[in-house]
Amino acid sequence: MTNKTPELLAPAGSLEKLKVSLLYGADAVYCGGQKFGLRAAADNLTYDELREGVEFAHQLDKKVYVVLNSFLHDSDLEQLPEFISFLEEIQIDAVIVSDPGVIKTVKENSQIDIHLSTQASCLNTHAAKIWKSWGVKRLILGREVSIEEAGAIKKSSGLEVELFIHGSMCMAYSGNCVISNYTQGRDSNRGGCAHSCRFEYSVDFKNWESVETRKAYFMSSKDLNGIALLEEFARHGIDSVKIEGRMKSSLYAGSVSKVYREALDYYKEKGHFYSEQMKDWEAEMNKFSHRAYTEASLVEKAGEDSIFDERQSALSQDYVSAAEVVEAIEGEHILLQVRKAFVPGDELELLPFRGPAVKLNSEKILDISNQEIEKTRPTTLVKVPYTKGAQELNIVRKKSYAANNLL
């Protein structure tokens, strides 16, 4: 028996991350071109890279959605039709849009499906009716919407619904924060967010004189983690679950996609999540950089415990990204591009696209000219003995120093 599961949608901040996310199990990826998205500082994809990314995804029978979710000004809109025509030519699967003017422009210039960005803060059935009347096919609902509410919106609107399931969260209603605009001169709703909500603030209380000034990261949200709620997503018919993180590493994109893929596949086959593996999946979520986790508003409204009142440096991380596989020649070597230095004998794990992590033999490390070396350096290439199953773009991770110290 096959049980219906939501689409797994992962971030693609670059062409490499697009491939990594898909190879590690995402059904679809979302990425930006050089303009019109909300991540001005991300690598984003050039025209050629978008074309290659779409071809790559479609060969795997997977999808690519392109973000056009800035709150565009008139001058931005003038340049949009050409880009839309290009997107239609390369046959992307949908655009992600938040502005009614962009919806109009997309409809006038193409037949591309339109997904409403979370940036539009669509939160209820009545709002859904308006977006539907404008031709939107899917709603990426606000992060304030619970899974149950999302199910109700889907049922009453007849539209596809998508919810964030993992990653960093805006504390504000999306699209309702302009701190960067006024304090840094960078339009947060056109890709210039300076993350002022992650700052530490000293807070003076005006009408509670007895309360002392407090220093706190009071506007910073914990990271979303909905792995334990996957059954709820499936039960309420959520069409797509989305992983945040176009600015994050390949280790993140690949690792999170892999965990959710395994969990969704388990559900597809078994129809439940009563699995010993749930503990493993949850443990895997701690093996890359993240803030403390919360389920935010997926079940109940996000409460006080959803605030991440700590420095950014307090991010949890059991493993670090050590390297990426550049080339794997069976019976010979694996060529690695080093991200974080390691030495012979370090505990390295190769994360295959499917199946459990495998130990990598790192007893003997060679440089590219086949000379044995005693220590690797970031941005260099090294060879380790071939390990079965290794493939180009696999991620290699290393237990972090902090985690080792805890053992």
- Which residues lie below 8 Å from residue 258, measured CB to CB, with a gap of 6+? 24, 25, 284, 351, 353, 354
Tokens of 217: 């990261």
DSSP string, 329-363: ETTTEEEEEESS---TT--EEEE-SSSS-EE---S
Taking the complex as a whole, the smallest distance from the CB of residue 306 to another protein amounts, in Å, to 7
The reply to whether 201 sits near another protein by the rule CB under 8 A is yes
Q: Which of 243, 229, 313 is nearest to 7 (CA)?
A: 243
Residues 141-170 that bind another protein (CB under 8 A): 142, 144-146, 149, 152-153
Is residue 131 involved in binding another protein (CB under 8 A)? yes
* Total residues at interface with another protein (CB under 8 A): 101
Site for another protein in 222-281 (CB under 8 A): none
Asked if residues 384 and 365 have their Cβ atoms less than 8 Å apart, the reply is yes
Window 341 to 370, contacts with another protein (CB under 8 A) = 367-370
Tokens of 67: 């973000």
Residue 54: its H or E element: helix 47-59
Lookup: tokens for 147: 């899974």
Nearest to 116 by CA among 141, 91, 92: 141
Residues numbered 76 to 95 that lie near another protein (CB under 8 A) are 76-77
Structure tokens at 279: 């503990």
Write the interaction track for another protein spanning residues 365-404; mark x where CB under 8 A is met and - where it is not: --xxxx--------xxx-----------------------
**Binds another protein (CB under 8 A): choice among 2, 59, 111, 202:** 202
x-or-dash pattern for another protein, window 181-200, by CB under 8 A? xxxxxxx-xxxx---xx-xx
Q: Is 310 in the site for another protein (CB under 8 A)?
A: no
CB of 392 to another protein, least distance (A): 10
* Options 4-12, 210-218, 250-258, 351-359: segment touching another protein (CB under 8 A): 210-218
Residue 205 in contact with another protein, rule: CB under 8 A? yes
With the C-alpha atoms ordered 139, 140, 142, 143, is the resulting torsion angle positive or negative? positive
Nearest-approach distance from CB 330 to another protein, in angstroms = 13
Nearer to another protein, 26 or 50 (CB): 50
